[in-house]
Each structure stands twice: as C-alpha cells, then as structure tokens.
C-alpha cells in the first residue's frame, strides 16, 4: 500500500486532469508515479518539462535508459527498475544490455562510459575529480553529454526517491531489485 496515494484523476483540479489526460494520450496510460507527482502540480509539471527537454538532448533514448537503470539499481527503486526495464527494451536494450546497465556497465564503449560516469556522479554526489572528468572526455563524452548525464542522474534521483518514499504501486511488469548473478 502506498504511503502517498496517487491522485484520482476524477477528483483532480482541471489543470492536473488536463495534464494527466495529455500523458495518457501520449503514452497510453497514466503511470502511478505521475498520479503520485500530481499531488503537487508543480512537481508533476516540473518533472514532465524536464523529461521532455532531456528527450530532445544529445543522449539517445537508449543512453537515457542506461542511466535510468544504473541509477534505479543504485537507489534500489523497484518501481523505476520495472518501468525502465520495459522502456529500455523499447529503446533497443537487450536483456543482457539491461543487466549491464543495472550494473553500471554497457555493451558499447561510449555507453559504458555514460553508465559508469552516471554511477560515479551519484555515488560521489557530484564531487568527481578532475581526473574522472578528463577520463570521460578522453573516452568520447563532450561537455554537452557530461551535463546531460548529470541531468539524467538528477531526474532519476527525483523519481527513485519519490517512489521509495511514496511506496508507489508498480504498474509495469515487476522487476526484482535484487540483481541475480548472470547465468
């Protein structure tokens, strides 16, 4: 049972109702996370605007899902792992690619740099060293990609923490937060 119940669309104010209706039109459902964010229209609208902006950035959908899976695993967010496993498949991640992302790794060199840097940013709360920044630059990340990795870490921390605090009911095929050894 959630600690913070999602808002019932029928009882939402007209602005929230319109926003949730637009979400449903765009993705075919209103995830419980969004209905939970709707308890604060500012949080819902801020999240949606930030997410939309990042979707137009330099990181690919696949790379954004790699970051989401790496951060969701580190923060032990079962809701986000469930959602981003499904979304990662849609973005072209294989089951092994999803597993690697959860480990902070990836199948290609550039994606591995993105995944590991995202985890370093999270683990070190942004206090990465000059050498770490130089290393990701020499591995192929320009400043735009570095900033977008940080931004994607931030948005995923927001969703992870919201779900972990709210105990949001999972409305995606459930993925166990425990990462099983590879077969």
> Of the candidates 27, 17, 36, 20, which has an alpha carbon nearest to the alpha carbon of residue 170?
36
Q: Report yes or no on whether pTM surpasses 0.75.
A: yes
How confident is the model over 38-83, as pLDDT tens digits? Answer: 999 999 999 999 999 999 999 999 999 999 999 999 999 999 999 9
> Of the candidates 9, 14, 15, which has an alpha carbon nearest to the alpha carbon of residue 35?
9
Q: All domains of the chain, ordered by start, with CATH?
A: 9-55 (1.20.5.810), 61-166 (1.20.1290.10)
Cβ atoms 42, 14 nearer than 8 A: no
How confident is the model over 91-119, as pLDDT tens digits? Answer: 999 999 999 999 999 999 999 999 999 99
pLDDT at residue 28 greater than cutoff 90: yes
82-107 in b/e form (b: 16+ CB < 10 A) is bbbbebbeebebeeebbbbbbbbbbe
């Amino acid at each position: 049972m959630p600690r913070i119940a999602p808002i019932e669309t029928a009882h939402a104010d007209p602005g929230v109702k319109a926003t949730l209706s637009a979400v449903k039109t765009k993705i075919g459902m209103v995830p419980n996370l969004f209905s939970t964010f709707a308890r604060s229209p500012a949080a819902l609208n801020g999240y949606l605007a930030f997410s939309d902006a990042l979707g137009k950035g330099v990181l690919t959908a696949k790379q954004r899902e790699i970051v989401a899976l790496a951060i969701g695993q580190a923060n032990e967010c079962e809701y986000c792992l469930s959602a981003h496993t499904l979304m990662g498949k849609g973005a072209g991640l294989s089951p092994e690619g999803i597993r690697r992302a959860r480990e902070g790794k990836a199948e290609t060199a550039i994606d591995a740099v993105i995944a590991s840097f995202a985890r370093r940013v999270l683990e070190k709360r942004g206090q990465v060293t000059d050498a770490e920044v130089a290393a990701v630059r020499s591995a192929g990340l320009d400043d735009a990609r570095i900033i977008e990795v940080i931004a994607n870490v931030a948005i995923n921390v927001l969703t992870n923490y919201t779900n972990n605090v709210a105990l949001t009911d999972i409305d995606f095929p459930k993925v166990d937060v425990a990462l099983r050894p590879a077969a």
